[in-house]
Structure 1
Amino acid sequence: MPSQLAWIDHDSTARERTLRILSRFQEKESRDELGLGSIRDSFADQLFPGTSTIQTRLRYMLFVPWIYRTLEDERVPAENFAAQADFRERELVEALMESDDLAGVFGKTAGKSLKRLPSSVYWAGLGKWKIRRTQFSQDVYHRRIDEDYRHWGTLESLEQDARVRGDDFGQEQRDITKNWHPQLPKPPVKFPAKIGFNLTREEAEFIQECIQAACPGSLLSFLVLHCKPADTLAPWEHPDYASFSTQHQELLTHARLFSEVMHGASLLYNIQLAKLKNHEALVDEHQTSFNNWIESFSLDELRKWSIERLWELTSNDGHNVTGETKFFIEAWIKHTRKSPEDLLANTDALNLIKRREMKLKGVRSRFRNQQALEQWGGYSGVGTLVYRWPTVQVLLNDLYNGLSQ
């Protein structure tokens, strides 16, 4: 029976434990020792646009614009804007720490001294879902806010003049200049005080509509509209997989095969390091995982897999798969297709992985730098690629709970 992580009916303590487990899966996935990130991120961005492995809870997609829109309403000047935004995000930490659901709170350990604020984590996603309408980076947005104030003041004067003349000044003319979605729900009256992660139905419907409008062809859009949350270890194990479009099924098939075959390369990398470190227990552990890997995938399916189609699907806007990366992956697949049982003794396959890591890490390569080897924790990239699925499950569950209100 496959392992599963339940979420929906858990209390806050269980939810927090589940999120910690999912975070560990994400940490293993995000370690990119062999330079597979461009393909991994291409699949993830096509399937689940606007998400990232360091997002935690869905309501941050509202917390951030609520803070910024409040600062805009107060006409906080550019010279103080960034500092005020920083202060209010840190205030949010304290408010969330007083709620009964602490799973996914930014700053839960560091408190107000946290180094990375939620706005920087969610900025790209807010833009992708078109909740954020300004196209500027966060820093530029902070610095040029006075220009927005002046522009809005001009529009208000034009609107007043239009009323005097009896002319129509369209809502669209006002909305097009806004930095945030014009239908953004209003924050709770005492925000950020007494706030939690539970979405209201209005908030959940707003986010659902934003995803559908901004990412209509994505699997994420299909899931938020048609499916209940599913507790599976990978998106291709979703119980509604049969209802996915042909396009999504093809994308998931290639994503799964890539994950499966490159998992073996990561395990072989760890085996070599464990041997180099003379750590017999680790060698045995990774070799057991490697043997399980050999038994887990279909060699026949791997041999029929079109690598040309893999490159067609992953070489898209914003993702550049280099020639060296393609060479490494194709060479590894060739070795695996020929005889996976012999990979542990295949000098060419072992050297392929070794040279790849040395090329990527340079003088910090664990194969040539003794200090780097000593600092190695024993596990590098040993998690299978699941393309942000643990994060997506949490976000979808938050949305579903809001829609169920």
Structure 2
Amino acid sequence: MSFLGWIDFDQADRDRTRRIIDLFGQEDTRDELGLGAIRDGLADLMFPGTSTIQTRLRYMLFTPWIYRMAGERNISAAGRRDIARGLEILLIDALQRGGETRGVIGSEAREKLKRLPSDVYWAGLWALGIRRFQGTRNACFEVPSSEAATLWAPGLPSHPENFLQSDEAAVRFALTQEEAGFLRDRLVQAAPDSLFTYLSRQQTAAECDWVWLHPDFASWPERLRRIATHAERFSRLMHGAALLYNLMLAEELAAIQGETVAIGKEKVEAYTKSLDAWREEIAGLALADWSLDDLWLLVEQTGHTVTTQARRFVESWRMVTEQAAGNVRIDAQARSLVRQREERLKNRKSRFINGSALRSWNGASGVAPFNYRWQPVVSDHLKDLADAG
């Protein structure tokens, strides 16, 4: 098993990456080239129990508290479910009364909220062993009220006094020391070898755009550095494929007669500049020394299925990138590889053969580099742990 060293980014690298993203406004993270299983596998290796739609870590406690409060009521399952939903809606106002303005789930939808915090965090609660009941949220309410407390991990801290019990109650995202200790313990028990657990022990939370830019990277255990280096190389290498895909769509759109021509031409220029910058940025990636076999073995440990076609696409893209010295923008083989991959995945819905699908393209599809939930989810979770008081 070869050692994978850290590839250093200077400030110029970071600024160039930000400029590339800024060209397209809000980042678009759709999985247009079928690489989601690899991305998610690496994310789960590093940060188990997290997801891209989580916001703040204390929701890992809000949900058990609310479900325990509802579950202890000696009423029907439907009644408990209604009470739990009502409490989750009350939580929105309580957090805002507490002065929270960022990360409040449902702050706009409020009573019309369809995806409740419990839904967002349900899988994570199981992954970290906070939830001991393996069933669905609705099935949880079928458990007799006398057994409601057994659905959650021993040692779960009690909710604050008067939690959601009055219209004036205020709630904050800030963790107590007891709550932070409980969450750290759950990480140690459920995922002792993960990067999430390792970083959760630190007294301060580092601020960096990408996990591989963490200031303490060099002191991490070898396995964690190895996984993070895989994540970096995969993100940076496959970002070029996403950029080329969008450039090709822009060219197709520019060739269509009509009012959309100007949009296509504008994006052609933008993606051309982006790919030229990307070519410079990956010059030091040392792709020839990157063990993709090791990457596949690691991802398989997470239960994510990486298809043979996905592996071949990544392997072929690396080969083409090396052969073209990064200048994939004008490389016929690189363009063919991207087009064939998208057409295989989407069939008749491919933007290359479906005019309606092409015209619905918004100018940036799956263009954001993979960050594996680091920003803002995991970095916020770690800050919440470090700031506990």
TM range (shorter): 0.7 to 0.9
Contact 2:202 2:386 in 1 (8 A): no
SS of residue paired to 2:225? helix
Q: For residue 72 of structure 1, report the CA deviation from its aligned partner.
A: 2.1
1:383 and 2:382 are equivalent in the alignment: no
Q: How does 1:289-304 map to 2 (within 5 A)?
A: 289-298=274-283, 301-304=286-289
Whole-angstrom distance in 2 between the partners of 1:126 and 1:341: 42
Q: Give a deviation string over 1:239-267, Cα, whole Å, max 9, x none.
A: 11112110011111111111111010000
Question: What is the deviation of 1:125?
Answer: 0.7
TM-score of the two chains, using structure 2 as the length reference = 0.87
**Residue identity matched to 1:102:** T
Map Cα deviations across residues 323-375 of structure 1 (whole Å, 9 max, x no partner).
Answer: 11111111111100111344222222212111211222233221122222222
Aligned partner of 2:110 in structure 1 is 111
Gapped runs of 5+ residues in structure 2? Answer: 1-10, 16-21, 255-263
Quote how far apart the aligned CAs of 1:296 are. Answer: 0.6
Q: How does 1:185-264 map to 2 (within 5 A)?
A: 185-192=157-164, 193-226=169-202, 228-264=204-240
Counterpart of 2:258 in structure 1 is: none
Report the alpha carbon displacement of residue 40 of structure 1 after superposing the two structures with TM.
0.5
**8 Å CA contact retained: 2:175, 2:387:** yes
1:341 and 1:320, CA in 2 relative to 1: closer, same or farther beyond 3 A?
A: closer
**Partner-residue secondary structure (3-state), 1:288:** helix
Aligned to 2:136: 137
| 2:247 matches 1:271 | yes
Tell me if structure 2 keeps the 8 A contact 1:270–1:380. Answer: yes
Picking from 261, 284, 306, the partner of 1:321 is 306
**Quick one: distance in 1 between partners of 2:95 and 2:12?**
34
Distance 1:317 1:265 in 2: 25
State the partner residue of 1:178. Answer: 150
Q: Distance in 2 between matches of 1:375 and 1:114?
A: 28
- Distance (whole Å) between structure 2 residues aligned to residue 226 and residue 90 of structure 1: 34
The 4+ residue runs of structure 1 with deviation greater than 4 A are 2-5
**Partner of residue 49, structure 1:** 48
1:39 Cα offset (Å): 0.5
- Whether the 8 Å contact between 1:227 and 1:240 is mirrored in structure 2 is no
Cα distance in structure 2, aligned partners of 1:286 and 1:217: 39
1:232: how far off?
0.8
Identity %: 40
State the aligned residue count: 357
Gaps (5+ residues) in structure 1? 6-20, 153-174
Q: Confirm or deny: 8 A CA contact 1:259 1:384 kept in the other structure.
A: yes
Give the 3-state SS of the residue equivalent to 1:181 in structure 2.
coil
Question: After alignment, is 85-94 or 123-132 more displaced?
Answer: 85-94
After superposition, give the CA deviation of every residue in 1:96-135 in whole Å (9 maximum; x if it has no partner): 2222121001111212211210001100111111111111
| Residue 79 of structure 2: aligned partner | 80
* Partner in structure 1 of residue 378 of structure 2: 392
* Distance apart, 1:300 and its partner CA: 6.2
Alpha-carbon shift at residue 299 of structure 1 (Å)? 5.1
More helix by share: 1
Larger-gyration structure (1/2): 1
CA distance in 2, matches of 1:322, 1:270: 23
**Which amino acid letter does the alignment assign opposite residue 395 of structure 1?**
H
Q: CA deviation at 1:4?
A: 8.2
Alignment CA distance shift 1:338-1:299 (3 Å): farther
Structure 2 CA distance for partners of 1:3 and 1:91, relative to 1, 3 Å: farther
Match of 2:64 in 1: 65
Cα 1:347–1:227 shift into 2, 3 Å: farther
Contact map agreement 2:157 2:179 (CA 8 A) in 1: yes
Alignment of 1:275-290 (within 5 A): 275-278=251-254, 279-290=264-275
**Number of the residue aligned with 1:336:** 321
TM-score by length of structure 1 reads 0.83
